[in-house]
Structures are given as structure tokens and as C-alpha cells.
Amino acid sequence: MKKNIIKWMKTDVKLESSHLWIVGLGIVVALGFVVNCCVAPFYFPCVPVDSEQLILSASIIAGLGTARQFVLYKFKYLQNLQDSESQKPEESNAKKVAEDILREKLWVPCVGWALVFGFAVNMLLIPFFSENIRPVEWSFLQSSIAIFLTISGTREASIYKKVGETQMKEQQ
């Protein structure tokens, strides 16, 4: 049983450090549900997170996050096919190309982490300290996260595409 759980948790898609903000965002939204369902009903100084905003945020993250992952898995699958066809992967320049692209676009994860912090303020701090903290505007957070999940997915897709092109050139 333990081996099955470990096997289930393994994936062929490596989580890059530039993607951790997406994981952080998911955790914050999940904790927003915990606050509403498990804390606020029993701890009266706690003010629940606006349910409509919480559900809309979760929907945006789940919908765009799932679409993003679907596209990235497709590109990862294609890249894995190209890697398996390559006879000398140790001589590949593709990894350097991907690292260079990621280094150029570090602003995306930086903005992503700022949005994670904004969601954390609205979902984790406001319920407990509403008289001392101003909330971040919900429409700003939701539209921004939709835009940045899209940008992040597009960025990754372009990386996979450029890595694939580099590998194809090296094979010729």
C-alpha cells in the first residue's frame, strides 16, 4: 500500500521553482475554504470570507489551472518523445535554452507571489483582523490571477516549443 501511494505521487513533469506560486495560490484558496467551513462557524471573532468571491476565485484557479496543465502535459509529452528519439541527450543545448528563457521572465512568478499574498490577506488575515487590515479588491485579484495563469501557461508552452526546436536542429 505504501509503495502504491508513493508511486501515485510521482509524476514525469518536474515542478519548477518558478511554478511554486501556483501551488501557494491553491493552498491559500483551500485555506479560505477551511476558514469558512471549519473555523468561522465556531470562532465568533472570525468573519467568513465572502463566499461568492471564494467560489469565483477557486473556479478561476481550477479552470485555468487545469487548462494550463493539460496544455503543458501535451508539450511535455511531445518533448519526451523528442528526447527518446535523440541519440545523444548529454550533448543537448535544449536545457540551456529553457533556463535562459526562464531567467528572462522572472517577473511572472514575482507578480504571482504578490497575488498569492493578496489572496492570503483576503482569505486568511481579514477573517481574523478585519478591523485592522484593508482587503485587497476582489475583482483586481481575480482578473489578475486569470491573466497571470494564462501568461504563465503560455510562457511554458513557448519554452517547450523552443526546446523542441533546439533539439530538432541538434538532431539534424
Quote the longest CA-to-CA distance of the chain: 68
Strand ranges, E, within the chain: none
Domain that holds residue 56: 15-171
Tally the residues of the chain. 172
* Residue 1 domain-assigned (yes or no): no
* Residue 9 domain-assigned (yes or no): no
Question: In whole numbers, what is the pLDDT of the chain averaged over residues?
Answer: 75
* Residue 7 domain-assigned (yes or no): no
pLDDT digits (tens, 9 = 90+) for 49-71: 998 999 999 888 888 777 777 77
% of the chain exceeding 70 in pLDDT: 60
Over residues 116-135, mean pLDDT: 92
Chain-centroid distance, C-alpha 42: 32
Cell of 110: 514575482
Q: Look up the pTM and report it.
A: 0.65
- Does the pLDDT value for residue 139 go beyond 60? yes
* Residue 6 domain-assigned (yes or no): no
* Residue 10 domain-assigned (yes or no): no
Domains: count for the chain:
1
* Residue 153 domain-assigned (yes or no): yes
